[in-house]
A and B are shown apart, each in its own frame.
Chain A
Amino acid sequence: MAQLKAGTRIQSAVCATEVMVIQAPEGEVDLRCGGAPMLEIGAEKSGDPVDPAAAAGTQIGKRYVDADGTIELLCTKPGEGGLALGDTALVLKEAKPLPASD
């Protein structure tokens, strides 16, 4: 995966996962899902199976971050693969409940 732009959507090469970029570091980003580099929307999926070592799965509406908070993704379509930056799996960001105001 090349550079990531906030507000754009990208997809897994090996499962149904799609995410929107909320925040991303500058420059080249090695973002993977299911063990394979993620693709632009519209690009052809590889058809390879999800790597069993990277099969944590994604949940729609959840946010995924790295430990340093350099990257944040919103899952817009769920899939079987797990998200990772390089070899480090991204983790679920805990939501802070807010009182509804509208």
Chain B
Amino acid sequence: MNLMMLLEMAASSFPERIAVQNGEDRLTFAELFSAAGVAAEEIARSGAKHAAVLDVSSLALPVGLFAAAWAGVPFVPLNYRLTDAELDQLLGQIEPAYLITDSERAPTLGSRAGATVIAREDFLARSRGGAGRETTWPMEPEDIAILLFTSGTTGPPKAAVLRQKHVVSYILGAVEFGAAAESDAALVSVPPYHIAGISALASSIYSGRRIVQLPNFDAETWIALARREGVTYAFVVPTMLQRIVDVLEGSASADLPHLRAISYGGGKMPLPVIERAMRLLPDTTFTNAYGLTETSATLTVLGPDDHRAAAGSPDPAVRRRLTSVGRPLPTVEIEIRDEEGKPVAAGVRGEICARGEQVSGEYLGKGTRVGSDGFFPTRDGGWLDEEGYLFLEGRIDDIIVRGGENMSPGEIEDVLLEHEAVADVAVVGVPDEQWGEAVAAVVVLAPGHEPDPEALREFVRQRLRSSRAPERIEFRDELPYNETGKLLRREVRAWLEDAAAAP
């Protein structure tokens, strides 16, 4: 098994179709295949053990993804919002690496001994100029296809390992080969380092659907692009859909005539947002997808029929399904388990566990979290209703999911604790209509210091990504701990909810 097999099938069946376009630049399926071969040769010649991309979406992303598969090395999309210190730590784990990046970063990173660094434009020019590759790709199912760094609850980020067998099984199970019409187009606005960005690429390629890339999302551009390019399908995170709905409601026409289907995932969708979207776009179907990096994307879907049935039902139990993530794919099994690992009945909360060929659950150098029975404990909390619809209950490990981005409270707390005014601090996620969750901090001041929320925010911004700066900061005399010294985050959340509810 190898991702390249999927591209080869597509390139032999519809070579002249546009595979991917970014602005005015585009690659046909045949051109993408050829470019991947040339790039694979370059990667192999460099001696790199990994091929990484540190960049926004561009044509270099599909070329790099398939070239890595052809060269038989893992593909590593890196988050371009990382700080230099974070990046240094991650690159250290994957060197020697072949690193494709933007032209601003390329000169700086070029001094790294362990990396062969190439600017995106040079990479593309070289890949398109060559004559393909004779050598075929390895078909070993155990080869690592993709490494995706996810932020853990403690310590440095860990790399989720997706092997060729996971990614290829997922695509073969979820996508019908060549099912797209020549006029179909998918608008991809999620970043390359998100599993949804990668699976959107692979599934579009296998279905023969043109990919339209939008590197930096904003709602106006998204809408204009969808109209101009006749986009028939798009995946968005809830925050994006919220903004799209806001803009459509404020404009003269909400018409997106070609857009047959939207799917969404990557965080909790507020009920008002999906209801407004369904009203505004009556001819567009909606699908909610739930999955994790460790499961090669989608595990469950709430499909178009589910959306309509739920939205139109007088039965509250059915209507509530609009806030569920639907039911498992035919190739996936879901169980809810209690703290001892025993399955629980419908309606009972527990940990969501998943089994299927696409499920990896493995981390680089840390082994697998999949149990001997094949089930992967996701650390997501949830419950199933009587008909098997899955409802999410947030992260068991208190990870904050803000606009589709996972962040660890511990990481933010560690930074705030370095500030001289902070004696103690608790960071939690609080419900937020725009971002799904917002970052909130409750701070105990060191003696002699005055509350200065903006100074604390700025302190976090300078050390972490700006999205990690707490939107809300409250000050208290002490934090709630249990007898063993464990911070009671649920009490902190309750405080914040009470404070928000107060007039």
Q: What CA separation (Å) do A22 and B139 show in the bound complex?
A: 13
Establish whether residues B13 and A101, one from each chain, have CB atoms under 8 Å apart when the complex forms: no
Establish whether residues B13 and A97, one from each chain, have CB atoms under 8 Å apart when the complex forms: no
B464 CB contacts on chain A under 8 angstroms: none
B196 CB contacts on chain A under 8 angstroms: 102
Contact with A along B160-179 (1 / 0, CB 8 A): 00001100100010111110
Q: Does A20 contact B (CB under 8 A)?
A: yes
B177 CB contacts on chain A under 8 angstroms: 60-62
Question: If the complex has contacts A101-B298, A102-B297, A102-B298, are A76 and B178 also in contact, measured as CB distance less than 8 A?
Answer: no
Q: What CA separation (Å) do A82 and B109 show in the bound complex?
A: 54
Number of interface residues of B (CB under 8 A): 37
A95 CB contacts on chain B under 8 angstroms: 176
Establish whether residues B301 and A99, one from each chain, have CB atoms under 8 Å apart when the complex forms: yes
Establish whether residues B5 and A99, one from each chain, have CB atoms under 8 Å apart when the complex forms: no
Establish whether residues B261 and A76, one from each chain, have CB atoms under 8 Å apart when the complex forms: no
Question: Binding site of B, secondary structure by majority: helix, strand, loop or mixed?
Answer: mixed
Establish whether residues A76 and B5, one from each chain, have CB atoms under 8 Å apart when the complex forms: yes
B412 CB contacts on chain A under 8 angstroms: none
Establish whether residues A99 and B285, one from each chain, have CB atoms under 8 Å apart when the complex forms: yes
Question: If the complex has contacts A9-B5, A96-B330, are A102 and B289 also in contact, measured as CB distance less than 8 A?
Answer: yes
Establish whether residues B12 and A60, one from each chain, have CB atoms under 8 Å apart when the complex forms: yes
A14-70 residues at the B interface, CB under 8 angstroms: 20, 22, 60-62
A61 CB contacts on chain B under 8 angstroms: 9, 13, 176-178
Establish whether residues B9 and A9, one from each chain, have CB atoms under 8 Å apart when the complex forms: no
**Chain A residues proximal to chain B, CB less than 8 Å:** 6-9, 20, 22, 60-62, 74, 76-77, 95-102
Closest A-B pairs by Cβ, 10 of them? A61-B177, A7-B141, A101-B289, A99-B303, A7-B1, A99-B287, A102-B199, A101-B298, A102-B200, A101-B263
Question: In this complex, what residue of A is CB-closest to B206?
Answer: A61
Q: B287 touches which one: A9, A74, A101 (CB < 8 A)?
A: A101
Q: What CA separation (Å) do A55 and B425 show in the bound complex?
A: 73
Question: In this complex, what residue of B is CB-closest to A63?
Answer: B172
A7 CB contacts on chain B under 8 angstroms: 1, 139-141, 164-165, 168
Establish whether residues A101 and B178, one from each chain, have CB atoms under 8 Å apart when the complex forms: no
Establish whether residues A102 and B263, one from each chain, have CB atoms under 8 Å apart when the complex forms: yes
B174 CB contacts on chain A under 8 angstroms: 98, 101-102
Establish whether residues B200 and A76, one from each chain, have CB atoms under 8 Å apart when the complex forms: no
Query: What are 10 residue pairs bridging A and B, where the CB atoms are less than 8 Å apart in the complex?
Result: A7-B165, A9-B139, A20-B1, A61-B13, A62-B177, A77-B12, A95-B176, A99-B285, A102-B174, A102-B298
Q: B9 touches which one: A60, A99, A101 (CB < 8 A)?
A: A60
Which of A6, A20, A76, A98: most chain B CB closer than 10 A? A98
B291-312 residues at the A interface, CB under 8 angstroms: 297-298, 301, 303-304
Q: What CA separation (Å) do A67 and B9 show in the bound complex?
A: 26
B93 CB, min distance to chain A CBs, angstroms? 27
Give me 20 other A-B pairs in contact (C-beta within 8 A), A7-B164, A60-B177, A102-B199 excluded: A6-B141, A20-B1, A20-B5, A60-B13, A62-B177, A97-B176, A98-B174, A98-B301, A98-B303, A99-B261, A99-B287, A99-B301, A100-B261, A101-B265, A101-B287, A101-B301, A102-B174, A102-B200, A102-B235, A102-B263
B151 CB, min distance to chain A CBs, angstroms? 21
Which of B168, B177, B301: most chain A CB closer than 10 A? B177
A32 CB, min distance to chain B CBs, angstroms? 21
B1-54 residues at the A interface, CB under 8 angstroms: 1, 5, 8-9, 12-13
B263 CB contacts on chain A under 8 angstroms: 99-102
B9 CB contacts on chain A under 8 angstroms: 60-61, 76-77
Q: Does B233 contact A (CB under 8 A)?
A: yes
Q: What CA separation (Å) do A20 and B176 show in the bound complex?
A: 16
A19 CB, min distance to chain B CBs, angstroms? 11
A98 CB contacts on chain B under 8 angstroms: 174, 301, 303, 329-330
B172 CB, min distance to chain A CBs, angstroms? 7
Which of A7, A20, A60: most chain B CB closer than 10 A? A7
Q: B203 touches which one: A8, A9, A77, A100 (CB < 8 A)?
A: A100
Q: What CA separation (Å) do A40 and B180 show in the bound complex?
A: 32
B176 CB contacts on chain A under 8 angstroms: 61, 95, 97
B108-147 residues at the A interface, CB under 8 angstroms: 139-141
